[in-house]
Structure 1
Amino acid sequence: MSLLTVKNISLAFGGPLLLDGAELTIRDGERLCLLGRNGAGKTTLMRVLNGDLPPDGGDIMRRQGLRTALVTQDVPADLEGTVFPIIASGLGEQAALLEEFHQVSRSLQSSTDPALMERLAQLQKRIEETGGWQMQQLVEQVIRHLKLEGDAAFAHLSGGVKRRVMLGRALVSDPDLLLLDEPTNHLDLETIAWLEDFLVRRDKALMFVTHDRSFLRRVATRIVELDRGRLSSWQCDYDTYVQRREEQLEAEEKQAAEFDKKLVQEEKWIRQGIKARRTRNMGRVRALRQMREERRARRERSGTADLAVQQGERSGRRVIEAEHISYAWTGQPIIRDFSTTILRGDKIGIIGPNGSGKTTLLQLLLGRLKPDEGRVKLGTNLEIAYFDQHRGQLDEDRSVQDNIAEGNDWVEINGQRKHVIGYLRDFLFPPERARSPVRTLSGGERNRLLLAKLFTRPANLLVLDEPTNDLDLETLELLEGLLVDFPGTVLLVSHDRAFLDNVVTSTLVLEGEGRVGEYVGGYEDWQRQRAEQIEDEEKKPQAAAEKVQPQRPGRDRPRKLGFKEKRELEALPARIEELEAEQATIHEQMANPDFYRDHGDEVAQLQQRLEQIARELEQGYARWEELEALEG
C-alpha cells in the first residue's frame, strides 16, 4: 500500500536544482536506503518528505493520517530537560503520564507525602488503562541499548550523545514512515547491531541515509539514488546495485559522447556557405536548436575524488612497541597489562564500545599519554598524520583553501607543486566552494577537507580516529583503496565493519575491565575467532565431566548447544513465567489506591523491582531466542 508519492518535485537554494523533477513512491513496510554524493540533497529530500520544507514545484501525496519522524544530523538548539522525558515525548499522550509518574516516583524515594502517593496511584491506573507500561518498557529498552542516562540533562551532553537521544525519541514514536540521516554515526558496534535488529523487526516504512555498508546490506529492501536532482529506484541488494549502476554510467557516458559528436556535425553544417543556406532544411535547423537546449540543460555528473597521501620517508621496522602498559582513570582501569609490537606496514584496527578508551589507547601508543605502568617505545624516523574525529584541526572562520595552504596559492604533494584550487578539486571542492568559510560545509565536506589537509603533510604513520563519518560511499571506497596501498603504517579507530574488513590486517579490541584482545584480520575475523574461543571455553568443562577427548572444532561445522546451555534452555521458560507473574502481582498491588496509604514506604522499592524485572525479562527472551536458534 502506498504511503507517500512524490511527483515531479523541484527545489533549489539559489544555485543548481537539488531536486529536478524527482519522483518516488514509498510503500508500507519498505526499508529504503537513500544514496547520493555529499551535497546531492539527501537531507533536503528527507526534510521535504517529512513536511518541514515545501518544494518549489511538483506534488506530494500522503496517505491520510500519515505520521512521519525525521532524525537529522543537526540537534535542536532549544531542547531542554532530561533524557527520559525527551525520549518518552515521542509517545504522544502517554509521554506526559510516564514523565509525571517518573517524577512522582523519584519524589517518593525521599518523601511519604500522602498526596504524592494518591497521585501515583491515579497515574498507575491511567497508565495501565492506556497500555503505558509496555511503552515505558520500550523507552527504558531504547535508553539502555543506546547507552544513555535517563536522568542526564540534555543541555550538558555532547553533540554525538544528543543525536542518540533524538534517535531514541524517533524510535519510540513508531511513525508510519521513519526517516534517519546517518543513524549509525556516534554508535558503537554493539549498539549498531541492536539498531539493525530493531529496524528489521519493525514492520513499518523506513528511509535512511548511511555510509555503513554492513548496515545497508542488513537493513535495506530497496535502494534509491539521488543523482543530479533525479531519483532512481533499484530493487536489488547493494552489491548488485553497484554493478548495475556502473554499467548504467558507462552507457550514459557513451550516449552523451555520441550526442556531442552529432551536435558538432550539425553545428558544422549550419555554418556552411551561402549555397548551403539557400537549401537549408528548416526542420533540421529546429532540431539543432533543440539539441543545443538539451546540451545546455545537461547536468554533468560531478567528478571522482582523487585521493593521494604525501608519503614520508621510510620509518624503522618497529614502529611502536608497548610492554605491559596499564592506565586507569578515576580508579577505573582503561588499559591493563597490555603488550604489542606494531611493525612497518601494519594496518591496525581499534574497536570497542563508546567510552571504552579507544582514543586513550591511541594516545598511549603514540607516546602522548604516559601509562601508569609499563612503557611505550616509538620507532625511528616517524612522521605522524593524525585525523581527529572532532575536526579540531580545522579553523571554521577561515576559508577552505586557507585551511589547506595557510594563505599560499600552492601545495606540494610527493615532490610536485600543485595549485591549491586544483588540489581541492581532487577532493570534490569546486572553486566557489574552496573560497567558502569552513563553517558553511556539511559534515561530509568537513571530513573530506580534513583528509585533504592531512594528506598535504609527509607521513609514514596515519592515525585515523573515525574518519568515515558522513563520507559518501564512493569517497569511502576510494579512501579504503588509498589506505590498502599506503606503504606506511595505519592505526584506525572505526565502527564501520566493512571498512575494517577491507583495510586492516589485525584488530585490537577493548573488551572491558582494561582487557585488550589482539586478533588477526578485521571485524568478521574477530567475530569468528571470538566465537571459537567461547566455544572452546564451554567445551572444556563439558569434556571433563563426560570424560570425552575434546575435538578441535571445525570452522565449517555448525555451532551446537553445550551441556550447560541445554540445561539453561530448559530452565528459561519457567524463569520467564516467574518473572511475568511477579510483575503482574506488583502491578496489581500498585493499582490499588489503598496500597499507597498503607504501604507508602514500599512504593519506591517496588518501582525499582519493576524496572529490574523488565531488564531481566528482556535479557531472558533474548537469551531464549539465541539458544533456540543454536538448537534449531
Structure 2
Amino acid sequence: MPLITLQGVDYSVGGPLLLQHVDLAIEPGERIALIGRNGAGKSTLMKLLSGELRPDDGEIRVEGGRRVARLEQEVPLDAAGSVFDVVAAGLGELGAQLAHYHHLIHAEPIDMDALAEVQAKIEAANGWSLDQRVIETLERLGLDGDADFGRLSGGMKRRVLLARALVSQPDLLLLDEPTNHLDIAAIDWLEGFLKQWSGALLFVTHDRRFLRALATRIVEIDRGQLTSWPGDWDNYVRRKEERLNAEAQENARFDKLLAQEEVWIRQGIKARRTRDEGRVRRLKAMRVERAERRAQTGNVKMATAQAGESGKKVIEAKDVSFAHGDKVLVRDFSTTILRGDRIGLVGPNGSGKTTLLKLLLGELQPQAGEVKQGTQLQVAYFDQYRATLREDWNAIENVAEGREFVEVGGRQKHIIGYLQDFLFTPERARAPITRLSGGERNRLLLARLFAQPSNLLVMDEPTNDLDVETLELLEELLADYPGTLLLVSHDRDFLDNVVTSTIVMEGEGRIGEYVGGYSDWLRQRDAAAVVAAPSKPQAAQAATPATPAPPSASKPKLSFKAQRELEELPGRIEALEAQIAGFTAKMAEPGYFQRDAAAVTADNAALAAAQRQLDDAYARWEALEGG
C-alpha cells in the first residue's frame, strides 16, 4: 500500500497551473529523484507532500500514522541554539522541553524547581525515550550536541538539519538539494547513509552522480504534469528526447490541420452553403486545445563576451605558503598555469580553496614565495556567495551597469534580449533581485559573468541551484571557452566533463596536482596509496605501482557457512541485475505509463525492492571479501 497518494492535484500561484491534475503514489522503500526546470514546481510539490501547502483541487492521502519530514533547500534563519536544540526541534513541543531540560542540567547553578517542573512534563508525555532517540541520532550522524549551531560550516549545518528531519523517524524523507554547500567527502557520506536508510526518499538534486547512485525511480515535472521513469538516468535522457521529438511532430501535424480548417471556415458564401456543423464544432474544440497548449520552457542561450588573448603563461607560483594563525592552508606550493588550461580545485570545506584562488589572482599576498600573473589578463569571477550582486539593483542594473547593450559572441545585444537568453522575462528582469529564487540568482550571475570580456574565468561553486539542462549547457560553453578556467566545484560529473587537470587540497597545507578530472584523480590517488603501502618492498612498489596490496596475513578465516555464502553471491548479484534490467526495459517501452496505475505502482515497488537487495548483496560481498 502506498505511503502517500496524490490524486488529481491542482496547484497555482497565479497564471497557468504550476501542478495540473497530478497523480503520484510513493511506495515504502522507494528512492525517487524529482527533476524539472527551475520554477517547475519541485519545492512546491514537496511542500504539498509534507502538508505545508494544501492543493487547490484534488486529494492527498497519507496512510494512517505515516510521518513525513522535509529538509529545506536553505538553512532556516530561525534555526539557532545548540545542535541538540536544533535536532530536538524535530520532535515539536516535546523536543523543546527536552532541549530546555538539557540546558538546565548544564547550568551553573542548577535551578532545581525549574528542572523538576520540566522533568514532570517529560515524564507525563513518556518523553525519555525520545531524549534517547535524539542522542542516538546525533551519534549516528557524528554530531556534537553541545556545539553552537550558528558557528558550524554550511555543510555541518546541513547535516544537523538532516538529523532534525530523521529524529522524527519519518516514513518518507523529502530532501531539497541536499548536496548544496557540501564538500565531496560529505556528499559521499550522505550518499552512503541514504543507501542504507530503510525509509522512502524523495529528493531534488542537480548532482547527476548522486542521482544515479540513489534513484530507483525518476519523476519529472514538466509544464504542470508528472511523468514517471525507471531509475536509470541515461535511459531517461534517451527516452525524454524521443518523447519530445514525438510531441513536436504531433504538434506540427495538429497545427497544420488547424491551419487547413481555419482556411476552410473563411472560404465565404460558397463554403457556408455546404458547411458541416460537426466540422465547425470540431474546429472550435481544436482552437481551445491549441490555446491551452503549454510550450516547453526554452533553454538558456549562453555565449561569452570576447577578449584578447592573454600571454601564454597565465599564472606562475613558486614555493608559496600561507597560514591563518596556526592553521597552514598552503605550504611550499609551486605551479605554472598556461593559456587554455582548465583546472579544477578540489578539497574539503575550509581547506583553503578560496584562499588559494585569491593567492593565484593576487588578491592575497603569500607569506612566503611569490606569485606572478601573466600579461593582458582579463578576469571574470563567479562568487559562490553571490556577493557580486547588488541587492538594491534589479537584474538589468546588475548586468548592464548603465549600458543599454552588451557585446557577446562578437555582436551587440540589447540588455533585455540578453537577459531573455537566460530565461528572464522583461517583467522578471525589472523585478528587485530580492524576489529571485536561488536558481534565478545563479542564472543572473552567469549572465553578469559572461557579459564581461574575459580570458581567465574563475568560478567558485557555479552549479548550486541550477537545473540539469542549464548545467549541461554550461558544461558545453566551458568546453568551448577559448581562455583559461579555474573551477572550484563539488559536482563530480561536472568536474569530469569540464576540467583537464585537478589541484587537490590534501590537508596540512599540502597541495597535489593531477592530470584529468575528479575520477582521474581518484584513480591516481588510489594507485599512489598502493605504491606507498609499507607492506610492499620499495623495489616491488616501483616495478608494479598499480598492483593492489596483498591481503593481510591477519585476515580471519571464513566459516564454512560464510564461505558458501561468498561463493553464491556472484550468481545472486547477476540474477538481481538481470531482474532490474528486465524492469528497466519493460518501463522503457512506449506507452508503458499509460497502463493501469496499480500495475505501474507494483512494478516500481518490485524494482525498488530488487535494487535494495542488490545494494545489500554488494555490501555483503564486500564485507565477506574483506574478512
Q: Normalising TM by the smaller chain, what interval?
A: 0.7 to 0.9
Aligned: 1:259 with 2:248: no
- Hey, what's the Cα distance between the residues in 2 that align with 1:9 and 1:400? 34
Structure 2 counterpart of 1:29, which letter?
A: G
Native 8 Å contact 1:73 1:163 kept in 2: no
User: Given the alignment, which residue of 509, 513, 519 partners 1:518?
Assistant: 513
Residues 1:50 and 2:41 aligned together: no
Q: 1:116 to 1:532 in 2, by over 3 A?
A: farther
Structure-2 residue corresponding to 1:543: 537
Change (3 A) 1:341 1:625: farther
Q: Name the SS of the counterpart of 2:167 in structure 1.
A: helix
Per-residue deviation, 1:436:
1.3
Alignment of 1:381-392 (within 5 A): 381-392=376-387
The answer as to whether partners of 1:88 and 1:95 remain within 8 angstroms in 2 is: yes
Q: Does 1:507 align with 2:502?
A: yes
Other structure's SS at 1:337 match: strand
Look up the SS of the partner of 1:64 in the other structure: coil
- Aligned partners of 1:34 and 1:226 also within 8 Å: yes
Extract unaligned runs of 5+ from structure 2.
Answer: 560-618
Partner of 1:213: 208
> Cα deviations across residues 462-512 of structure 1 (Å, max 9, x unaligned)?
000000000000000000111111111100000000000111111111111
- Aligned partners of 2:394 and 2:431 also within 8 Å: yes
Cα distance, 1:135–1:630 mapped onto 2, change above 3 Å: farther
2: distance between equivalents of 1:222 and 1:163?
Answer: 24
1:332 aligned partner: 327
Matched, 1:8 2:18: no
CA distance in 1, matches of 2:115, 2:543: 61
C-alpha distance in 1, partners of 2:544/2:100? 54
Distance 2:179 2:557 in 1: 34
1:80 paired residue number: 80
**Does the 8 Å CA contact 1:349/1:491 hold for their aligned counterparts?**
yes
| Counterpart contact for 1:447–1:470, Cα < 8 Å | yes
Tell me if structure 2 keeps the 8 A contact 1:38–1:444: yes
Residue 315 of structure 1 aligns with an amino acid whose one-letter code is: S
CA contact (8 A) 2:9 2:22 kept: yes
Q: Which amino acid aligns with 2:8?
A: N
**8 Å Cα contact 1:560-1:630 kept in structure 2:** no
Residue 486 of structure 1 corresponds to 481
Partner of residue 286, structure 1: 281
1:311 and 1:459 in contact (8 A); partners too: yes
Give the 3 Å change call, closer, same or farther, for CA 160–353 of structure 1 in structure 2: closer
Distance 1:191-1:630 versus aligned 2 partners, 3 A rule: farther
Q: Which moved more, 1:300-309 or 1:559-568?
A: 559-568
**What displacement does 1:142 show?**
1.8
Show the counterpart of 2:527. 532
Mapped pair 1:37 → 2:74: no
Superposition deviation, residue 114 in structure 1? 11
Shift of 1:302: 1.3
Give yes or no for contact 1:346–1:490 (8 Å, CA) kept in 2: yes
How many Å separate the matches in 1 of 2:308 and 2:625?
A: 52
Quote the Cα distance in structure 2 between the aligned partners of 1:121 and 1:18: 47
Q: Deviations over 1:328-384 (max 9, x none)?
A: 001210111111111111111111111111100100111110111000011111110
* Corresponding letter in the other structure for 1:434: A
Kindly indicate whether the alpha-carbon contact (under 8 Å) linking 1:176 and 1:205 is maintained by their aligned counterparts in 2: yes
One-letter code of the match for 2:76?
P
Residue of structure 1 in register with 2:397 after alignment: 402
Q: State the secondary structure of the residue aligned to 1:137.
A: helix
RMSD: 3.2
**Partner in structure 2 of residue 298 of structure 1:** 293
Q: CA deviation at 1:625?
A: 8.7
Q: Is contact 1:561-1:631 (8 Å) kept?
A: no
Q: Using the alignment, how far apart are the partners of 2:35 and 2:294 within structure 1?
A: 18
Counterpart amino acid of residue 191 in structure 1: A
Aligned mates of 2:520, 2:137 — CA distance in 1: 33
Contact 1:84–1:151 at 8 Å: present in 2 too? yes
Aligned counterparts, 1:552-563, within 5 A: 552-553=543-544, 559=548, 561-563=550-552
Displacement after TM superposition at 1:445 (Å):
0.7
- Contact conserved, 2:531 with 2:541, CA < 8 A, in 1? no
CA separation of 1:630 and 1:90: change in aligned 2, threshold 3 A: farther
Aligned-partner Cα distance in 1 for 2:74–2:28? 27
Distance between the aligned counterparts of 2:397 and 2:557, measured in 1?
63
Within-5 A mapping of 1:11-160: 11-90=11-90, 95=95, 99=99, 102-103=102-103, 106-107=106-107, 130=129, 133=132, 135-144=134-143, 150-155=145-150
| Percentage of pairs with the same residue | 55
Partner of 2:265: 270
Q: In structure 2, what is the Cα distance between the partners aligned to 1:406 and 1:34? A: 37
Distance in 1 of aligned mates of 2:153 and 2:332: 31
- 1:118 Cα deviation after fit: 11
Q: Deviations over 1:11-60 (max 9, x none)?
A: 11122211111111111110111100011111011111111011111111
Letter matched to residue 207 of structure 1: L
Which residue does the alignment assign to 2:574?
none
> CA 1:480 to 1:293, structure 2 compared with 1: closer, same or farther past 3 Å?
same
Distance, in Å, in 2 between the alignment partners of 1:340 and 1:458 is: 26
Tell me if structure 1 keeps the 8 A contact 2:496–2:518: yes
Which of residues 233, 237, 241 in structure 2 aligns to 1:242?
Answer: 237
Q: Which TM-score applies when normalising by structure 1?
A: 0.83
Which one is further off, 71-80 or 400-409?
71-80
Deviation at 1:626, TM superposition (A): 11
CA shift in 2, pair 1:628/1:235, >3 Å? closer
Q: For 2:12 and 2:60, locate their aligned partners in 1 and report how far apart those are by CA, in whole Å.
A: 17
Q: Equivalent residues in 2 for 1:453-464 (5 A)?
A: 453-464=448-459
1:440 paired residue number: 435
Which aligned pairs between 1:288-367 and structure 2 lie closer than 5 A?
Answer: 288-367=283-362
CA distance in 2, matches of 1:468, 1:521: 20
Distance change >3 Å, CA 415–CA 549, structure 1 → 2: closer
Q: How far does residue 132 in structure 1 lie from its aligned partner after superposition?
A: 5.5
CA drift at 1:150: 3.6
User: For residues 321 and 177 of structure 1, do their structure 2 counterparts lie closer, same or farther at Cα, with a shift above 3 Å needed?
Assistant: same
User: Does residue 380 in structure 1 map to residue 407 in structure 2?
Assistant: no
> 2: CA distance between counterparts of 1:471 and 1:332?
34
Q: Which moved more, 1:309-318 or 1:126-135?
A: 126-135
